[in-house]
Structure 1
Amino acid sequence: MLRFNHELLARIRTELNLTQEAAAAAVGVDVRTYRRYESGAVNEAAEGFVVRNASRRRLLTQLGRELGIAEDELVVAIEAPAPAPAREGWRPCHAHTLPRARHFVGREDVLALLRERSRRVIAVVAIGGAGKTSLVERYLAELGEGPHAGGIFVWSFYDDTRVEAFFARATRYFAGEVEVAAGDRPQVLQQALAAGAPHLLVLDGLEAVQGSGSGETTYGRLADGALRRLLMAAVRGLGATRVLLTSRFEPTDLQAWDGQELTTVRLGGLSPAEGSTLLERWGLVAGATLQPLVDRVGGHALSLAMLGSYAGTFLDGDGERAQAIALEPAARDDVQARRLLTVLAAYARALAPEERDVVARLALFPAGADAPLLARIAAAGGAAAGALAGLEAAKIVPILARLERLGLVARAAPQRWTAHPFVAEYFRSLLGAPPEAIHEVEREHLLASLTVHAPGPQAHDRLDTYEALLMHTLRAGRVSEAASIYFRGLGGFSHLGLQLGAMSRGARIVREFAADGDPGRMLPALGGGRRARLVYDWGLYAGALGDLAQASRCFRIHGTLVREEGSLEGLTTSLRALAYTERLAGSLTEALQLAEMAAEVAIRAQSPGDAARALALQARVLHDLGRVDAAEACFEQARGLGDRPFARRSFWTAEHALALGRVTAAQAEVEGNLAGLHELGWAGHRAHAETILGQVALAGDEPDPDRATLHLMHAREWTTATGEIEVVLRCHELEAQICLAERRFADAERAIRGGLALAETCGFGLFAGVFKNLALARSLEVGAGVAEAAALALAAARAQATAAWNLADALHLAGMAALTTGTPARELLAEAERLRAWLRHPQLAATRAALARA
């Protein structure tokens, strides 16, 4: 194994009193490429330093000539690193402690199913209070604390709905303690889970991050794209990893695998015998009076537990007296919920006032609360404090402990308690104070540690505090103030998304301003302008996270809102964003129509800047459609408005030029943007620029994979921080092209496979065909799987025939494949030749040469 001796290079340069810039100029490379050699970044972890291309060979020669270093000193042999030792045993990681049922009975058939290691994903689905969490906790207790052959990781979305926090903790557990950047965590976690160990991933309370089906939300659909992709990967197979999840809702995203790789357990009620046993364990006297109680609540586990706890504590275990509780009110559609609320009403009357008020206030905090928080509410006095007025934390803890023994609350962490959602629902009705008053107490506490009008926060702990402040402000009824915290304190998408890359957090925050998480039901108290801005930001976050369907819906809603406001500038922005999204999805005809409408509206609004942006996008879509002359005319029309192309509209110009073989023009176009993008802090746009420059480095007569790799590294500084899907896909594409140029076919396959899976899962139709063409190009190089890859690439290209450039490449590659397999190729190559001639494709000569051989 060879290694580039970068330490020697740095020492010799220093001894010669040269700057890095001077050394780079001496050997004829740009300074960023030189720095990559001097930093050792050219040494790959698995393969070391490999000379695969002429440009790297020339650079070694120049380094030796200009700096006086022999090549055998620069490139030295080393022993290959030994593989990391296998982990001897795994201890479970309970990121959240699942509440333990005081008494657990039955469910032996389901427990037996959970023990079956052949089941990849098991979803335990049931109404609230059926005992989903208790079942999983019992199974985990049965497994014990190990050590085990694989890891066991437990996360509760009841306790923490932050998906990015889940990925951070799970990645650290499964992939090791090394720090992994936020954007890389989903992929690193998948790789760690697929490594072979029999891991178990437990996700409790998934409904907290699923659509409820109310309004226009999709029932059971996961709101977060990264989590959706993880579960879809798990159901397809991640080594020996199993996933166990609980939810009130069916996992809609996985329904295609139900009954096969997905096992859905629809948990029903306890049997009469099991229910009677549970009541007995709570202290009821065994006898004929117990089975009617079980029947009356339909075997509902939580209802039985509450009945048993109440009768055992306050009725001396007398089942006859428990029968007197009226269990048939008609307050709700859910029969079992109606009965449980009746039991809880009887329970609440028997509790001491301070016990009742602790549960009522705890019920306002879905993730639970600690004694100091409850003490702050008590110190507020008045209706907010209720019977807790004057109680300090030390006196509140024993109350919580008693309520825990009664089964009314559960310990979510050593010093934090929570109430079951059904219990919380009833006790919230007993507050005796507006919920807003309780949240106001916590809002003021958080406000004391922050200045909301200061520049946007950077550190994640401050982001957490800002988010908590916003949520309590919103729940305190201060909707406008909460929106101000988002737009001013957190900086909206322009700071939170565009600069910090906190896409999941941003999406979660804006969702809170909509009833039932439905962008079509933004809170009326916001006013039209702010509703429109929030739903537009929601679309931007959704698009960045790879949820193009949600992004498209948000931009359509935004268009409706700005029309109502009479804002032509807002409408052209909305149409342009929608056109951009539909283009990524591969809907090019609709994207063109939308871009044309955006340009018309901008011209009507007398907004030349917006018109130039819309025309540039229109030109880019025309290029995708193969209408090259029309695209050039449209780009020229945009420039005629006095616009200096910048950011994306400049990138579109560059991509158009690069596709036509105008490499120098493309490079100059993009490089002219870099300083301005850096000054604005638009790291995501800079990453896009770097991927184009990487492709520029591979274009022309002398491809330079080293320089392309340097650009790829710079682009990945953004994706590792954010995971923005479009840029991740661009990086996969560039990496595959570099690997093919360097004939690293195994690495190319990995990059192509990862990119294709991501594109198809997220619905990025524009990229899916590109990766299938790359897969075919790789197959042609290695001489394996050619016929199958050709069929897939050609079918995908013909299914999306409006993407003319992709179709032309697919036809050419399929024709080349036919030549190698001895099947008729002339018709394919002739069609490719006609299309490439129409496109003025720089590779037209290669197609004509192949056609001459056919």
Structure 2
Amino acid sequence: MARFFHHALLLQARLDLNLTQEQAASAVGVDVRTYRRYESGAVNDARGGFSVRHPTRRRMLERLAAEFGLAEEDLLVEALPPGAPAPPEASGPSSEEPEQGLRPHFAHTLQRARHFVGRGEVLAFLSAWAAADAPAERVVTLVALGGTGKTAVAERLVASLGEGPRPGGTFVWSFYEDPRIEGFLSRALRYFAREEEVAPGERLERLQDVLGGGPPHLLVLDGLEVVQSDGGDGRSRGELLDPSLRRLLVALARGLGGARALMTSRFPVADLGAWEGNGLRTLALAPLSEDEGVDLLRLWGLRGGGGALRELSASTGGHALSVSMIGSYVGGFLGGDARRFEEVPLAEAARDDALARRLQAVLSAYARALPEQERDLLARLCVLGGGVDPEALQAIAQAGGALAGSLAGMGWPELRRTLARLERLGLVFAAREGQARYSTHPFLRDYFKSLLGVAPERIHTLERERLAARLDTRLHEPPRESARLDDYEALLLHTLRSGHAHEAYAIYARSLGGFTHLGLRLGDMSRGARVTAIFAPEGDPRRLSEALGESTRKELVYDWGLYMGALGQLDFAVRCYEASVALSERTQDAAGIVTGLRTLGYTERLRGRLTSARRLLERSVEVAGEYQARSHIARSAALLGLVLHELGEAEAADMHFSQARTLDGTPMARRALWQAEHDLALGRRERARAATRKNLRVCEHLGWHGHVAHCHTVLGLIAVEDDVAAAGEHLVQARVWARASNEVEMLLRCHELAARLALAEGRPEQARREAEEGLSLATACGFGLFRSRLACLVARSVLAREPQGGVDVALAALEATVSEDAWGQAEALELAEKALEATGQQARARELRAARAPRAR
């Protein structure tokens, strides 16, 4: 007798596992059209049924059964059950036109609510927002306590958009599953721009270009709180930890073509507060109403009078996850009888953090009811965190003993069936990224980790050994490929969590190459910042792991500051350098103290806090003098000379540059650049040009790419007055590093040079665009000195095009200029005076001229 493929069972299994057809196809390793033939029943023949004689069909049946936790015999039936949809009529080859637009892309699966109620008003707003050509709110953030249902709402919206191609792409990323910002940028570029390999420093700019191209692209970013501060590390609550992500979201809020972003988080995004109501919409997701809670309990199969269910719903405070867990528990283990749930003392939960206490009471009852194998698998999955691959779970089962618990000896098919049961209960979901990866709701992890039965370090040790077995930890040269760097980063994480802090630092310093490799060679600043932050569980640079020695902590926190400073997070970089100086003082490391103070002074200078920078550098010179460290005295004295120059004390600056030459000969690298900038401002152009050309050759020979780029910007500023072609070539060369590293200071230098070059070429509108883009970046990142320069360039560009229309912008430049920046103040006052005179406001011009007199020298 002919047998048929039970396509209705496959459909139900996919829906139970919260998967789209695209995700299901990826899981079993076929294209989506092939998968659809199985789910629709098109593989069945009306007379011959479904034959498994062909090896391809046999393998497909095995994959479907294993992946969906089904028995093969259940997928082959003698007759389709009554009511099962009949297979569609066979049709000839498709003659479809090529698809227009992009199909949605799920880098990660959003956890789908097994049962969904309410949220009609929020979903109606989001649906209209997603369909609008150019909504006023380019960024929408769903904010609520964990477990309130933010992810379920986002998933519901994405599902409503369908799986077909749309004019704008839809890209879904979960920071719960992968917090790597460079991974997010790389994957988004691969989807939107079809670009496989883009240097780390170029990804942000390239993605902004693509998103700004016009189509109504949609980014769905789940679990943003993973990359936000909770306020306990000295930062603002809700502040984004990664400057690259902050710059992307700010750009989206300001407007990038038709692009928009939906985000979920436990915190409002502090960095976007200025755009609330004009680019940003923050939606606070309310708890479920009592009626919605009752509806949800009924969907889980609970029986009982409306009053009993209403009381049960009210006991959770409308917390969606708590209601679902009660529904899943009572429906799955108590036969749906709500009266039997009275044993869980929800009413005794304290008012402080009541929702968490109530949920813990539910989970405690749930854990007791789970079979031992399911409980053990869930606990181990929670320890490993998000995005756990099958190999890691199999390694635990094969380890045996207390480490494996009741999982000992289980093979992958049995593990997969256990995972499928947990998925149906709503405790686990499959996050698919090429291969199956499994995760749990973050709100559940802490509780189920407590049921592990062994020290969590043992699980991390096992994973560390598994990763180390396929990686060479004694590399002669650190890797450059992103995938390989990801592997070493994962090894570092599990090494640290297994209690081997020194070995973890060795992986950072040797296998990943430290700042020298990650920062200076690769420009992979985001990775470097994230890896160094791993050593500070609370996110505070003053509280690095005590398992590391003070000397190691000093080096690590100094590198952390370098990454954060390069990414433009100057406030946090200052905290890192202060911690480094404190550690150097405790270990009596004179070189560390002097270097830390000098770097602090340089960072304060960039912020526009010149008096503070001066004090730090004077102290650096003093400490270096106490230890008779001539080269350190020279470097600190030269930087102090640059700060004095910016304060308007040109003669004192000359004296310090001369002192530096006396102590340590001809300057090179940054010392030479600081003096060249001083000479250029005082009109000593040829002296600055000759010194910088010589410096460029030295830096190129040494492979110091950042210094090379800096040399090109100085040479470009010199050439812009007498050779615009040469200035343009210098700009091109400088931008090679700026784009490769995403170093904010170099990006700003390039914007300044590009604006001055456009003015010299008679292109004021282009100059204004460059200056405004740089001004926005400088303002967002707190680079006070560059804010002064670029605000003046915006005004100069407007006045070059329309002398009588630049009063407002010239006065705005004066307002934006750092008060201690003598040169910026002088230029801004001059521009404002000219603008006022051009419009006949002579009296106001004279007032400004009087204000400018003290700075005229």
Q: What TM-score does the superposition give when structure 1 sets the normalisation length? A: 0.84
**What residue ranges of structure 1 are gaps of 5+ in the alignment?**
1-85, 839-854
Tell me how far apart the structure 2 counterparts of residues 280 and 87 of structure 1 sit (CA, whole Å): 42
Pairing 1:634–2:640 present? no
Alignment equivalent of 1:256, drawn from 263, 274, 277:
274
SS of equivalent to 2:542: helix
1:109 matches 2:124:
no
Matched, 1:346 2:365: yes
Residue aligning to 2:521: 499
After superposition, the Cα gap between the structure-2 partners of 1:278 and 1:641, relative to the gap in structure 1 and judged at 3 Å, is same
Structure 1: which amino acid aligns with 2:123? L
Query: Which residue does 2:334 correspond to in 1?
Result: 315
Structure 1 residues 249 and 830: alpha-carbon distance in aligned structure 2, compared to 1, 3 A threshold: closer
Aligned twin of 1:71: none
Q: Output the CA distance in 1 between the equivalents of 2:426 and 2:142.
A: 22
Shift of 1:618: 0.2
Please say if 1:124 is aligned against 2:124.
no
Change in CA separation of 1:215 and 1:725 when aligned onto 2, cut-off 3 Å: closer
Name the structure 2 match of 1:91: 103
* Pairing partner for 2:555 from 533, 553, 569: 533
Distance 1:293-1:719 versus aligned 2 partners, 3 A rule:
same
1:437 corresponding residue in structure 2: 458
Paired letter, 2:812:
L
Pick aligned residue for 1:795 from 810, 815, 832: 815
Alpha carbons of 1:179 and 1:745: their partners in 2 closer, same or farther (altered >3 Å)? farther
Query: What residue in structure 2 maps to residue 705 of structure 1?
Result: 724
Q: Which of 128, 148, 156 is the equivalent residue of 1:138?
A: 156
Q: Distance in 1 between matches of 2:649 and 2:493?
A: 49
Letter in 1 for 2:127: R
1:195-236 Cα distance to aligned partner (Å, 9 max, x none): 333232211100000001124232110001121122222223
Of residues 365-374 and 819-828 in structure 1, the stretch that sits farther from structure 2 once superposed is 819-828
Q: Distance between the aligned counterparts of 1:753 and 1:615, measured in 2?
A: 34
Deviation at 1:807, TM superposition (A): 2.0
Which one of 203, 227, 230 corresponds to residue 212 of structure 1? 230
1:434 CA drift (Å)? 0.9
Deviation at 1:489, TM superposition (A): 2.0
Q: Is the 8 A contact 2:244 2:526 kept in 1?
A: no
**Alignment CA distance shift 1:394-1:673 (3 Å):** farther
What is aligned with 2:686?
664
Deviation of residue 717 (structure 1)?
1.2
Cα distance between partner residues in 2 of 1:595 and 1:194: 43
CA distance in 2, matches of 1:302, 1:330: 16
Give the Å deviation of 1:607: 1.3
Identity %, equivalent residues: 51
Q: Does the alignment pair 1:171 with 2:184?
A: no
Aligned 1:468-483 pairs, distance under 5 A: 468-483=490-505
After superposition, where does 1:68-87 map in structure 2 within 5 Å? Answer: none
Q: Which residue of 2 aligns with 1:380?
A: 399
Which amino acid in structure 2 is aligned with residue 766 of structure 1?
Answer: L
Equivalents in 1 of 2:394, 2:386: separation in Å? Answer: 17
- SS of the residue corresponding to residue 487 of structure 2 reads helix
* Pair 1:244–1:664, CA change in 2 (3 A): same
- The whole-number CA distance in structure 2 between the counterparts of 1:141 and 1:460 is 31
1:188 to 192, 206, 210: 206
Q: 2:399·2:408 contact (CA, 8 Å) conserved in 1? A: yes
Instruction: Answer yes or no: is the 8 Å Cα contact 1:808–1:835 preserved in 2.
Output: no
Aligned residues of 1:328 and 1:338 also touching (Cα < 8 A): no
Which amino acid is the alignment partner of residue 552 of structure 1? V
SS in 1 for 2:535: coil
How far 1:745 sits from its partner (Å)? Answer: 2.6
In 2: Cα distance, 1:139 partner to 1:580 partner: 48
Distance in 1, matches of 2:273 and 2:720, equals 42
The whole-number CA distance in structure 1 between the counterparts of 2:466 and 2:622 is: 50
* Match of residue 411 from structure 2: 392
2:611 pairs with 1:599 = no
Moved more, 599-608 or 381-390: 381-390
CA contact (8 A) 2:768 2:798 kept: no
Partner of 2:299: 281
Q: Quick check: 1:426 aligned with 2:455?
A: no
Letter in 1 for 2:300: W
How far apart, in 2, do the equivalents of 1:810 and 1:216 lie?
A: 35
2:270 matches 1:270: no
Deviates more, 1:647-656 or 1:91-100: 91-100
Q: Quote the offset at 1:268 in angstroms.
A: 2.5
After TM superposition, the structure 1 stretch with the greater mean CA deviation from structure 2, 205-214 or 817-826, is: 817-826
Which among 174, 177, 190 is matched to residue 156 of structure 1?
174
Q: Relative to 1, partners in 2 of residues 1:562 and 1:677: Cα closer, same or farther, differing over 3 Å?
A: same
Question: Secondary structure of the residue that 1:122 maps to in structure 2?
Answer: strand
Q: What does the per-residue CA deviation read over 1:342-391, in whole Å, with 9 as the maximum and x for residues that have no partner?
A: 22222222222221111111102222212221001222222222221222
- Displacement, 1:570? 1.3
Q: Which residue of 2 aligns with 1:721?
A: 740
Larger deviation: 558-567 or 541-550? 558-567
Q: Provide closer, same or farther for how the CA distance between residues 296 and 221 of structure 1 changes in structure 2, counting only shifts above 3 A.
A: same
Asked if structure 1 preserves the Cα contact closer than 8 Å seen for 2:200 and 2:522, the reply is: no
Partner of 2:18: none
CA distance in structure 1 between the aligned counterparts of 2:684 and 2:225, rounded to whole angstroms = 52
Counterpart of 1:544 in structure 2 is: 566
Match of 1:686 among 699, 708, 726: 708
Deviation at 1:811, TM superposition (A): 2.7
For 2:322, the equivalent position in structure 1 comes to 303
CA distance in 2, matches of 1:265, 1:225: 24
1:276-310 Cα deviation digits (max 9, x unpaired): 11111112124233222111111211111111111
- Partners of 1:295 and 1:602 in 2: CA distance: 67
**Aligned residue-pair number:** 748
Provide the secondary structure at the position in 1 that maps to 2:664: coil
Counterpart of 2:255 (choices 223, 233, 237) is 237
TM-score by length of 2: 0.84
Instruction: State the match for 1:20 in structure 2.
Output: none
Distance 1:822 1:267 in 2: 55
CA separation in 1, counterparts of 2:528 and 2:350? 37
Q: Does 1:742 align with 2:741?
A: no
Which AA in structure 2 matches 1:237?
G
Structure 1 residue 832: deviation in Å?
8.9
* Secondary structure of 1:526's aligned partner: coil
Alpha-carbon separation, structure 1, partners of 2:812 and 2:366: 64
1:571 aligns with 2:593: yes
Q: 1:215 to 1:222 in 2, by over 3 A?
A: closer
Any idea what SS the aligned residue of 2:248 has?
helix
1:649 to 671, 679, 691: 671
Distance 1:97 1:759, change over 3 A: same
Following the alignment from structure 1 to structure 2, what is the Cα–Cα distance between the partners of residues 467 and 359?
A: 25
Equivalent pair of 2:712/2:731 in contact (CA under 8 Å): yes
Task: Judge conservation of contact 2:648–2:855 (CA < 8 Å) in 1.
Answer: no
**Contact 1:575-1:595 within 8 A present in 2 as well:** yes
Quote the residue 1:732 is aligned against: 751
Aligned-pair distance for 1:99? 1.2
Which 5+ residue runs of structure 2 have no aligned equivalent?
1-97, 130-134
SS in 1 for 2:383: coil
Whole-angstrom distance in 2 between the partners of 1:400 and 1:152: 29
